[in-house]
Amino acid sequence: MKRCSRLGSIDISAIEDVFNRVNLRDFFNLQEEVEYEFANVVVEYIASSWRRGLRSEFPDRNFCVLTRTEDEGSYGPSVTFYELR
């Protein structure tokens, strides 16, 4: 069995983006418009908390924390982060 010895040109930040993503539809049964509006507020709150936590825990590293809303044609409201390299 062969083992990979290096990552080559893999975009680690893109992998972190996917692995760190939280989609609120995975946790809540969002059906009504008001529920989506509330979920959009929740992802902004989570993003704010993550920004503070990442700055506190890793002051010498830079992270990008992103939110997506239902309006942006995604799976639903979501939040993610990755390290800027």
Banded model confidence at residue 7, pLDDT cuts 50, 70, 90: low
Confidence of residue 1 (pLDDT cuts 50, 70, 90): very low
Which is higher by pLDDT, 30 or 43?
A: 43
| Strand order, beta sheet including 22-23 | 22-23, 78-83, 63-68
Express each pLDDT in 9-27 by its tens digit: 678 999 999 999 999 988 8
Residues in Cβ contact with 12 at an 8 Å cutoff, skipping those fewer than 6 apart: 83, 85
- CA–CA separation, 81 and 13 (whole Å): 9
Q: pLDDT tens, 46-61?
A: 999 999 999 999 999 9
Domain boundary assignment for the chain? 19-83
- What pLDDT, on the 0 to 100 scale, is given for residue 3? 52
Phi-psi sector, 82: left (phi>0), alpha (psi -120 to 50), beta:
beta
Q: What is the Cα 67 distance to its own chain's centre?
A: 7
